[in-house]
């Protein structure tokens, strides 16, 4: 207030000056009148100034010894900075909520005691229950029974120490299925280092977990599959060596030379196939599978491939039906690989049947199809989609006659997709399967 007004000791002038500064002078006057009529009241009001200042106005009645009111004490405190900070805080809280609602993760805040104060809407979506229910019952109702004790222990430790919280556990979704989550939480502290609240996030990592498991199984299987032929080869070589070193006892002619070499050769073929599959897989993963595109006759490719297979496999008969003649643009060797994979699968999974049918036909006006039909064990419908996935078929099939990495069909499907084609399977358990690939016809 300017000194000349203060020095004038003119209440009227002070009031007038004050009112000129205020955003809502009428409200102020009303309050002054109200207080005049009710002298016993104390009051707190916020005054907004035109220049943006915010002032807290406290009024107290001043009493004489006989209890009568004879004056007021009015104090004014500039709280502009406090209010601004509050506004910033509210804005920041709003931003936090918006961010929390946007994120695919489930976000939680809790008070220093660990009691949850906020669940983002992803919680409702995931669990299929309302936030009210979550607040009432706590999110522990979603924990897997086997995880509860460990979570509570870790959470308690986290609350007590204030260290960052990181844990993997399962939470039940709205379908009642438990999915793995990565939970992270950290403390928000004030300047003195006291915990003000906790912020936590839950990220679903079920797919990563499954992929990890498949990779672990796959590596185990590689180890198992590769070591078996190596063990056999080593065995035969060491047996022959040991016989040769004691030549005096056994004449060379009576050593099992021929049969050992046949076994060794068979195991080397098996080893080579496994290594080729592995290399193909790693090349696919690095996207280094280069296609050498040339025009070639699909009919000739089929005829030649079948001749090659029949040369080494005299038990199975493969019949070929050329219902359509097509030349396509593509990588002949890679398409041959797909065809070999289909035929070998047909043979491998038909232990009791001995015929396979290959048909080439026009599928619509834009595509040519090649189907390989076997009469083997077939594939259950729930497995039909998965067989084109990487590593599928690896676990649980240790029978020698179905050995392999279970990546042949994954590689085949990748090759066909890179030719802009598609791949399909029709199968019935116990009756057999038809694997078909479709390639675009170049017009």
Task: Report the alpha-carbon distance of residue 123 to residue 107 in Å, rounded.
Answer: 8
Residue 223 lies near other proteins (rule: CB under 8 A): yes
Residue 224 lies near other proteins (rule: CB under 8 A): yes
Residues in Cβ contact with 297 at an 8 Å cutoff, skipping those fewer than 6 apart: 325, 326, 327
Task: Report the alpha-carbon distance of residue 60 to residue 44 in Å, rounded.
Answer: 9
Residue 349 lies near other proteins (rule: CB under 8 A): no
Of 360 and 394, the one with the shorter C-beta distance to other proteins is: 394
**Which of 238, 272, 300, 319 is the binder for other proteins (CB under 8 A)?**
238
Residue 263 lies near other proteins (rule: CB under 8 A): yes
Tokens found for residue 402: 């179905």
Residue 398 lies near other proteins (rule: CB under 8 A): yes
Residue 395 lies near other proteins (rule: CB under 8 A): no
Residue 216 lies near other proteins (rule: CB under 8 A): no
**Which of 109, 267, 345, 359 is the binder for other proteins (CB under 8 A)?**
267
Per this entry, what is the length of the chain? 443
Residue 248 lies near other proteins (rule: CB under 8 A): no
**Which of 52, 128, 256, 429 is the binder for other proteins (CB under 8 A)?**
256
**Which of 25, 61, 114, 235 is the binder for other proteins (CB under 8 A)?**
235
Task: Report the alpha-carbon distance of residue 352 to residue 176 in Å, rounded.
Answer: 42
Which range in 35-43, 159-167, 192-200, 236-244 contacts other proteins by CB under 8 A? 236-244
Of 73 and 216, the one with the shorter C-beta distance to other proteins is: 216
Of 103 and 219, the one with the shorter C-beta distance to other proteins is: 219
# binding residues, other proteins (CB under 8 A)? 25
DSSP 47-66: EEBTTS-EEEEEEEEEE-TT
Beta strands (DSSP E) in 111-249 are 116-119, 165-172, 178-189, 195-204
Residue 209 lies near other proteins (rule: CB under 8 A): no
Q: Are 78 and 92 in contact (CB under 8 A)?
A: no
320: helix, coil or strand? strand
Which range in 29-37, 89-97, 229-237, 416-424 contacts other proteins by CB under 8 A? 229-237
**Which of 16, 33, 53, 234 is the binder for other proteins (CB under 8 A)?**
234
Tell the burial category of 42 from Cβ atoms under 10 Å away from its Cβ (0-12, 13-18, 19+).
exposed
Residue 28 lies near other proteins (rule: CB under 8 A): no
Q: Are 418 and 291 in contact (CB under 8 A)?
A: yes
Spatial strand order of the sheet with 165-172 comes to: 116-119, 106-110, 195-204, 178-189, 165-172
**Which of 77, 220, 385, 417 is the binder for other proteins (CB under 8 A)?**
220
Of 218 and 437, the one with the shorter C-beta distance to other proteins is: 218
Of 200 and 229, the one with the shorter C-beta distance to other proteins is: 229
Residues in Cβ contact with 175 at an 8 Å cutoff, skipping those fewer than 6 apart: none
**Smallest separation (angstroms) from other proteins to the CB of 243:** 7
Residue 239 lies near other proteins (rule: CB under 8 A): yes
Query: What's the DSSP call for residue 286?
Result: T
CA distances from 201 to 39, 101, 140, 307 (A): 55, 12, 15, 60
Judged by the rule CB under 8 A, the positions of this chain that interact with other proteins are: 220, 223-224, 226-232, 234-236, 238-239, 242-243, 256, 263, 266-267, 396, 398-400
């Amino acid at each position: 207030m300017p000194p000349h007004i203060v020095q004038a000791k003119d209440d009227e002038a002070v009031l007038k000056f004050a009112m000129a500064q205020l955003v809502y002078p009428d409200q102020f006057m009303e309050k002054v009148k109200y207080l005049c009529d009710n002298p016993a009241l104390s009051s707190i009001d916020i005054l907004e100034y035109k220049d943006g200042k915010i002032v807290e106005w406290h009024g107290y009645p001043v009493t004489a010894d006989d209890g009568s009111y004879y004056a007021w004490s009015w104090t004014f405190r500039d709280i502009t900075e406090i209010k601004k900070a509050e506004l910033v805080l509210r804005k920041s809280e709003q931003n936090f909520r918006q961010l929390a609602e946007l994120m695919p993760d489930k976000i939680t805040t809790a008070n220093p005691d660990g009691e949850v104060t906020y669940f983002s809407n992803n919680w409702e979506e995931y669990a299929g229950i309302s936030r009210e229910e979550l607040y009432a019952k706590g999110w522990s109702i979603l924990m897997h029974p086997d995880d509860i004790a460990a979570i509570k222990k870790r959470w308690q430790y986290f609350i007590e120490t204030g260290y960052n919280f990181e844990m993997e556990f399962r939470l039940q979704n709205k379908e009642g299925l438990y999915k793995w989550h990565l939970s992270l939480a950290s403390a928000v502290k004030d300047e003195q280092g006291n915990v003000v609240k906790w912020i936590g996030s839950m990220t679903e990592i079920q797919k990563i977990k499954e992929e990890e498991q498949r990779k672990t199984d796959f590596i185990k299987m590689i180890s198992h599959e590769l070591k078996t032929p190596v063990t056999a080869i080593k065995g035969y070589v060491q047996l022959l060596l040991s016989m040769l070193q004691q030549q005096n006892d056994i004449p060379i002619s009576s050593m099992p030379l021929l049969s050992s070499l046949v076994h060794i050769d068979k195991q080397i073929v098996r080893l080579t196939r496994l290594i080729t599959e592995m290399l193909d897989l790693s090349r696919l993963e690095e996207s280094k599978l280069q296609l050498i595109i040339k025009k070639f006759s699909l009919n000739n490719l089929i005829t030649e491939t079948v001749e090659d297979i029949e040369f080494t496999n005299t038990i199975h008969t493969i019949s070929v039906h050329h219902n359509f003649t097509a030349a396509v643009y593509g990588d002949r060797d890679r398409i041959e690989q797909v065809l070999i994979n289909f035929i070998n699968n047909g043979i491998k999974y038909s232990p009791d049947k001995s015929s396979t049918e290959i048909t080439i036909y026009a599928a619509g006006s834009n595509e040519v199809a090649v189907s390989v039909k076997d009469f083997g064990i077939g594939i259950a419908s729930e497995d039909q989609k998965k067989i084109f996935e990487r590593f599928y078929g690896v676990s649980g099939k240790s029978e020698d006659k179905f050995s392999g990495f279970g990546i042949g069909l994954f590689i085949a499907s990748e090759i066909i997709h890179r030719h802009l084609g598609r791949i399909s399977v029709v199968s019935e358990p116990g009756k057999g399967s038809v694997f078909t690939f479709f390639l675009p016809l170049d017009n």
